[in-house]
A and B are shown apart, each in its own frame.
Chain A
Amino acid sequence: MLQRLQHLLGIENLTREQITFILDQSKPFQEFQRHPLKKLATLRGKTVALAFFEPSTRTRISFATAAARLGADTMNLQAESSSLRKGESLLDTVRTLEAMRPDGIVIRHSSSGAPHFVAERLEVPVLNAGDGTHEHPTQALLDALTIRDRKGKLEGWNVTILGDILHSRVARSDIQLLGKFGTRITLCGPAMWVPRELESLAPKIHREPRIERALDEADVIIVLRVQTERMHEPALAAEEFILGYQLTAERLRLARPEALVLHPGPMIRGLEIDPVVADGTQSCVLEQVTNGLAVRMALLYHLVGGAPVDEPHPAKERSSAAD
């Protein structure tokens, strides 16, 4: 029996079994996206607070849609709007949230550890939508689902992660997750963005500064965004980056023939990825978006649904039809 997940703060502390459970549970929600009518009542009456301290359109809309399709209401707290004054302390925001009594909180914040801060102080399930340079667990889960669906299984592939890995929470969550499934991980990017300590994050992982070598035998390539808001340090000229690290069609051919190309989005076509590759048959970016919705629905269903953990449930027995 799977221990009930109370929060989703990161991949690091999830077991293989828990990850597999989440991926398995995402499948009915993938199927659901094909229904003509995409509205359930299963989380009706529940409210999910979306506390996005960092600007984000895609992830926020994905979570908002997931909640809405499950029938839940959402509360939108955004850094730009008046509901989260710039500079208002996290502690005050926590108190505000507590007063609003949501059934779940989705939080994105620029400080690593902010979701943990909230989870320690409130009895409400917390889902990490990205904290600082720490983790972005739902991205890793949807990446894993995409790989598993396309490749048939998740174990044992060669995965190359390309770009500014040091500042990427997506990369860290991907590394944590794939590391639990026997993946051989190759990290490739400009040296100052791929420090040695990254190799301590997973068992079979190494750095390879030359893209040609890094792509050799790759089954999956995860291309990272060039982050403008998280301070590339030092700033690298775009031409330098493209020269060394852009995923071109030609470079893609160095990988295995059926290699997948994943990208957390949004892509800057012509910078980290050649438009031909972005739109090519090996690119999985559109599935990543649909899978993101399915994963987030599965997570909200399990974490936000149901009675609060310490409330006893009335045992009205039904016949075995309600299995």
Chain B
Amino acid sequence: MDHNQQHETSHKPIKRNEMTRRQFLSYTLGGATAFMAGGAILPMLRFAVDPLLQKKAETAFVKAIEEKDVTKEPKSIDFKVHQVDGWYESDPKLQAFVAKDDSGKIFALSPVCKHLGCTISWSGEEAPNLYHCPCHGARYTKDGKNLKVAPKPLDEYQVKVENGWVYLGPLESNTRV
């Protein structure tokens, strides 16, 4: 028990609930300081978090390959998408593995490994008729099902077929496995 408390309990003074002058002044000073600091800092914080709050651009469907060139064997194709990155606009190339399944439906897989984001390739000596990743040895089936190392199946591009051409759209989680 410190000195002040002892004093109060022994004398039982009239309880006063109103604010002391010191309290009032420190609240006023603190409030004014907080208002001024907030006025300067808040716009900067909103400025900094802007990328999180910007509207994300919709990915358009892009003409990628002729329907008749798609086989049951996955084929690597490149296609260009338009990308707006702040003040920089470009048309980077994206890659997809396009194939037909047994029922003849066309599907396209993303070549980005679901383990840690390296680029996979199809088949070869090391992993015949499988997708394999050079970084940590992940393996996937033709449908993109993860066999080892990777925790999830390969992502899939949305596919549209029109007038004999295959169009690729935004990425979504694998719908085949």
Q: Does A associate with B in a complex?
A: no
Interfacial residues, chain A to chain B (CB-CB below 8 A): none
Interfacial residues, chain B to chain A (CB-CB below 8 A): none
